[in-house]
Amino acid sequence: MATQSSYDESSFRVLKGLEPVRERPGMYTRTDSPAHIIQEVIDNAADEALGGFAKRIDVALHLDGSITIADDGRGIPVGEHPDEKIPVVVLAFTRLHAGGKFNKKSGNSAYAFSGGLHGVGVAVTNALSLRVAVEVRREGTIWGVEFSGGGEVVSALMNLGTCGRQSGTRVRVWPDAKYFDTPKVPLHELERLLRSKAVLLPGVQVTLNIDQPDGSVQTKTWTYPQGLAGYLNESAATDPVAPLYAAEKYADADHADFAPGEGASWALGWYAEGVNSESYVNLIPTVAGGTHESGLRAGVFEAVKAFIEQRALLPRGVKLQQDDVCSRMAFVLSARILDPQFQGQVKEKLNSREAVKLVSSMVRDPLDFWLNQNVDAGKAIAELSIKQALTRQKNSQKVEKRKQSGVAVLPGKLSDCESTDLAENELFLVEGDSAGGSAKMARNKETQAILPLRGKVLNSWEIEAGRLFANAEIHDIAVALGIDPHTSEQSASLDLSGLRYGKLIIMSDADVDGAHIQTLLLTLFYRHFPALITRGHIYIAQPPLYRVDVPASGKKRPARRLYALDEGELFAIKDRLIKEGISETAIEVGRFKGLGEMNPDQLRETAMAPATRRVLPITDSTDASDVINKLFNLLMGKGEASGRRAWMELNGHLVEADL
């Protein structure tokens, strides 16, 4: 019999079917409310409308807490799957990584553009629901199937009658309250989602019916005849400084870089006061932004900058930056991308690197043409942008004068940035001189500073603050930052006005030594500079371990270069490429042994450019401070060797080390 600490064959458990979702729901969806599992069903209806197959999306909230989503699309196929030998509609609701959105080969794709390729959408909805009832109208017949108890089929697919020429899918969901903080979908969030679908799907009627206790039904219907511009105008509380600009552009069959239909539609407005912006990818709301938003800002900046330079509007000595042009810009962006890659299953942020170039190239030329056709509007936008630049430079000069009284001399190996704007500036602590050299060539000199570290930083867990500066590396880090060591008790009221960088990013190799350097630096900041952690200034770069070179595949896809953070992500990328029809033997995989092996372009794209990099924010929790302190003491304390040994013997089998 296995004891609690034993590790043998009986220690392994295999989760089958939808069990992984029910065991770890937070890996697949939001658990604050059922909003996201309902959104997955709505997104399927919206994908039908996006493909031109549906004209209505109807959502109903019932008094028993269930939600019904119906569309008049093609209806989910009900025939037997050729390989799995079960009805496709059952497969969609009971099997992870199964759906009609994987196959992107020409002529074989059910969806040219869809919200994502994870293939776990309505299967997750089913797994986390008490009951799901599905009705499909297809090819003159009404079919019904029902699921219960976390995904089990309780009523087999059956013929319910005829429907003439009607078609579509109706899904009723009873979310299981035990998986969510609250069992109800927030009404304001649902209305916002449905309203956005109406904006992004011209000609599609979106309706919400809410059952009332007295038996009546409250109905809300959304239509936006002016599309994105009308939506943006409704969202703004004030008038823009220039007329709103709305347009769209998509790649044609002869486009050299992108597949036919890829592109974006957008509405832009500049306001004296800030206005909220929204973005979408294949109708999926990306509330955390992503690379498509970065591409929009880049394209807008280039067009406005060109307009200003052509007319010599910029005062002498003023250097225009992207934030000067875009900080007062509100937008609604709807991007169409053939193969979108999101950050997590919740799809709140787009990670696809090619989206930067796609949206930027689609926006720049049409906006440039519009500015030159509407000169008065262009000048108003230019005037607002220049005003922002002048304000920024004035504030920077004030900060610079205050710093001139300081006596500390910056480290000689620090490659400092030109800007003095705390919100923009970033300091990269880079492992080794080799990687430091590549980082210097890869950086944006305006806002990014590089400080190479030689070897491993001193373990400072038990070092007194007065002795810290005896170590040259710690001395250089502290002087570069512009603040002194302090205690956790002092951090709440500490004045950080001398801080020179808004973000401090630890960038080390993706190996054991790199992880050790990260731990030593985090020990330093947690012990002696805790205010940097509690106020959100510390980040860890996540450079990739693998490079994947993908050959061109006809006119639809040019040659691509993808990056994988680890083996799991590498497997997912290869699996996705194979499903696209690319031969596994044609996929070339390279492994980076360290940051020094990356050329500056690769390092910039994967670890340094804000639009395409991945960085992990380091945060602190006051509720867990005792646990954190005990763990740091166990791992870094000099007198804890026996405790560390016991801890490693107990937990060593959980480590996945790249030796």
Pairwise CA distance, residues 554 & 547, whole Å: 22
The pLDDT score that the predictor gives to residue 631 is: 79
Q: Which of 513, 588, 601, 658 is catalytic?
A: 513
CA distances from residue 624 to 268, 547, 606 in whole angstroms, order as listed: 44, 38, 32
The Cα diameter of the chain in Å comes to 86
* DSSP conformation class of 557: B
Query: How far apart, in whole angstroms, are the C-alpha atoms of residue 572 and residue 567?
Result: 9
Is 511 a known active-site residue? Answer: yes
Domains of the chain by residue range: 19-222, 227-397, 410-543+592-620, 626-659
DSSP secondary structure string for all residues of 63-120: TTS-EEEEE-SS----SBPTTT-SBHHHHHHH-TT-SSSS--STTT-S-SS-S-S---
Q: Which residues of the chain register pLDDT less than 70?
A: 1-17, 97-120, 149-151, 274, 344-346, 395-409, 554-556, 621-625, 652-659
CA 536 to chain centre: 19
To the query of whether residue 473 is one of the catalytic residues in this protein, the response is no
Number of Cβ within a 10 Å radius of residue 513: 13
Tell me the pTM. Answer: 0.59
Torsion of CA 368, 370, 371, 376, to 10 degrees: 180
- Please give the class, per CATH, of domain 227-397: alpha beta
Q: Can you give the pLDDT at residue 307?
A: 96
Q: What is the pLDDT of residue 298?
A: 94
Determine the pLDDT at residue 515.
83
pLDDT the model gives residue 626: 73
Catalytic residue among 302, 424, 509, 605: 509
What's the helix, strand, coil split of the chain in %, to 5? 40, 20, 40
150 Cβ neighbours under 8 A, 6+ residues apart: 18, 22, 126, 127, 128, 129, 176
**pLDDT tens digits for 348-368?**
788 888 899 999 999 999 999
d(CA 659, CA 656) in angstroms, rounded, equals: 9
What is the H or E stretch that residue 538 is in?
A: strand 538-541
DSSP output for 456-485: PPP--TT--GGGGGGSHHHHHHHHHHT---
**CATH code of the domain made up of 19-222:** 3.30.565.10
* Candidates 446, 511, 597, 640; catalytic one: 511
- Give catalytic status of residue 431 as yes or no: yes
Return the pLDDT at 385: 93
Length of the chain: 659
**Is residue 421 annotated as part of the catalytic site, yes or no?**
no
Q: Are 239 and 232 in contact (CB under 8 A)?
A: no
Does domain 410-543+592-620 match CATH 3.40.50.670?
A: yes
Amino acid making up residue 76: I
List 431, 476, 580, 620, catalytic entry: 431
Question: In angstroms, rounded to a whole number, what is the distance separating the alpha carbons of residues 261 and 104?
Answer: 13
